A and B are shown apart, each in its own frame.
Chain A
Amino acid sequence: MRYNERELLSLARQPAEKAAEIRMSVPKKGNVLKKRLVKLVVNFLFYFRTDEAEPIGALLLEHCKITKEEENVFSISFIEEPERKYCFECATKEQCQEWVEALRRASYEFLRRSLIFYRNEIQKMTGKDPLEQYGISEEARFQLGAHRQ
Chain B
Amino acid sequence: MKLNERSVAHYATCDSPADHAGFLRKRVERHHHHAHHHGTSYQRRWFVLKGNLLFYFEERDSREPVGLVVLEGCTVELCEAAEEFAFAIRFDDAGAKAYVLVADGQAAMEAWVKALSRASFDYMRLVVRELEKQLEEACKSLAACRKSPWRSSSSGRKRHLSNPALQPLQEKPTTLENGYSTWSSGGCVAGGATCTDHDGGQPKPPPLPPRRRLAASSATGSPAPGLSPAMLESPVSPETICFSKLHNWYGQEIAVLRREWQERQKRGHP
Contact = CB atoms under 8 A, between A and B. Distances in A.
A120 B179 CA distance: 12
A120 B125 CA distance: 17
Contact of A126 (B69, B115, B138, B201): B138
Interface residues of B, number: 90
A107 B222 contact: no
B224 to A, nearest CB: 8
Contact of A58 (B3, B74, B192): B3
Contacts of B207: 104-105
Contact of A80 (B10, B164, B175): B10
A3 B52 CA distance: 13
Contact of B3 (A3, A10, A16, A117): A3
B257 to A, nearest CB: 13
Contact of B226 (A15, A20, A80, A108): A20
B165 A126 contact: yes
Contacts of A104: 189, 195, 197, 207
Contact of A1 (B67, B189, B225): B67
A100 B225 CA distance: 15
A135 B2 CA distance: 39
Contacts of B235: none
Given A8-B1, A10-B91, A108-B121, A149 B199 contact: yes
Contact of B127 (A10, A64, A115): A115
A145 B68 CA distance: 28
Interface residues of A, number: 82
B68 A1 contact: yes
Contact of A149 (B67, B121, B201, B209): B201
A25 interface: no
Nearest to B218: A15
Given A8-B70, A56-B2, A110-B206, A41 B220 contact: yes
A87 interface: no
Contacts of A124: 165, 168
Given A2-B68, A63-B7, A95 B138 contact: no
B183 to A, nearest CB: 10
A9 B194 contact: no
B132 A78 contact: no
B64 interface: yes
Interface string B30-71: 000000000000000000001111000000000011111110
B134 A63 contact: no
A16 B11 contact: no
B228 A122 contact: no
Contacts of A148: 16-17, 203
A23 interface: no
A20 B114 CA distance: 36
**Residue among B11, B53, B91 with most chain A CB within 10 A:** B11
A15 B220 contact: yes
A111 B121 contact: yes
B14 A63 contact: yes
**Residue among A63, A67, A118 with most chain B CB within 10 A:** A118
Contact of A108 (B51, B131, B168, B209): B51
Given A120-B176, A126-B138, A141-B118, A78 B93 contact: no
B208 interface: yes
A83 interface: no
Contacts of A131: 127
19 contacts: A16-B223, A42-B72, A62-B11, A63-B7, A63-B14, A64-B197, A68-B192, A78-B4, A78-B7, A79-B10, A108-B52, A108-B121, A117-B176, A117-B206, A122-B138, A125-B139, A130-B134, A139-B118, A141-B124
Given A18-B227, A117-B205, 8 more contacts: A6-B96, A8-B70, A10-B92, A19-B225, A60-B7, A124-B168, A136-B118, A139-B115
